[in-house]
């Protein structure tokens, strides 16, 4: 009986590992919001990391979070690093590209799991509003693929993006 249980569990584990192995090698999470403000009013909220405290969904999760700003004061070359509790972890962001319609950010997490992602904010004017689209994409290693069987990146990050965009809308429309 014990042997059947061990064989059964082993087969189940192999099935889960095989299923993880065939998961996509990349992920992408996207959310959008229409903001009644021009792109030139919204872009500084994104490309100047000093402004993230006004709208970022992670800024208030750890009141004791250590923040460091370096590089350029804003726009391309601006760097923001943080270290905080379990909810915010530790990492670094750098503005790597900037046009009137897009801000590109390289995002590196160190804690809880090392990973690198690219984050884009696309600003598309539509009449008296701007459609702001926030996308984060990156590679999924085997551990991320295994985790993805049980919880998707979209379900983990998407609600935070929605919250952040709602706060950004409130700030930009003042």
* Residue numbers of the domain that contains 19: 2-172
HSE-CB at 52 with a 13 A cutoff on CA atoms is 24
Beta strand residue intervals within the chain, DSSP E: 26-35, 66-71, 78-83, 90-99, 102-111, 115-126, 129-139
Task: Read off the CATH number of the domain in which 15 is found.
Answer: 3.30.530.20
pLDDT tens digit string along 61-74?
Answer: 998 999 999 999 99
pLDDT tens digit string along 32-41?
Answer: 999 999 999 9
Q: Write down the pLDDT at residue 147.
A: 82
Count of domains forming the chain:
1
Find the Cα–Cα–Cα–Cα dihedral 159, 144, 89, 131, rounded to 10°: -30
Q: State the CB neighbour count (10 A cutoff) for residue 80.
A: 21
Go through the chain and tell me how many residues it has: 174
How many angstroms separate the CA atoms of 91 and 77, rounded?
16
What token pair was written down for 61? 């999760």
Measuring CA to CA, how many Å separate 163 from each of 80, 114, 128? Answer: 20, 24, 22
pLDDT tens digit string along 6-34?
Answer: 888 888 888 888 877 888 889 999 999 99
How many whole angstroms from its chain centre is CA 136?
5
- Evaluate whether 35 touches 42 at the Cβ level (below 8 Å): yes
Q: Write down the pLDDT at residue 19.
A: 79
Least confident of 20-29, 79-88, 92-101: 20-29
pLDDT tens digit string along 127-140?
Answer: 999 999 999 999 98
- Evaluate whether 105 touches 78 at the Cβ level (below 8 Å): no
What token pair was written down for 94? 């750098």
């Amino acid at each position: 009986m014990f042997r059947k249980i061990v064989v059964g569990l082993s087969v189940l584990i192999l099935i889960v590992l095989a299923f993880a192995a065939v998961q996509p090698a990349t992920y992408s999470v996207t959310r959008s919001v229409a903001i009644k403000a021009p792109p030139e009013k919204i872009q500084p909220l994104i490309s100047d990391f000093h402004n993230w405290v006004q709208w970022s969904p992670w800024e208030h999760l750890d009141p004791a979070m250590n923040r460091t700003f370096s590089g350029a004061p804003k726009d391309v070359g601006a760097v923001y690093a943080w270290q905080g509790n379990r909810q915010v972890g530790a990492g670094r962001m750098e503005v790597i590209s900037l046009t009137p319609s897009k801000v590109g950010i390289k995002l590196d997490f160190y804690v809880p799991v090392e990973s690198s992602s690219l984050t884009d904010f696309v600003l598309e004017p539509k009449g008296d509003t701007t459609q702001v689209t926030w996308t984060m994409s990156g590679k999924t290693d085997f551990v991320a693929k295994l985790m993805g069987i049980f919880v998707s990146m979209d379900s983990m990050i998407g609600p935070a993006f929605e919250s952040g965009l709602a706060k950004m809308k409130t700030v930009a429309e003042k």
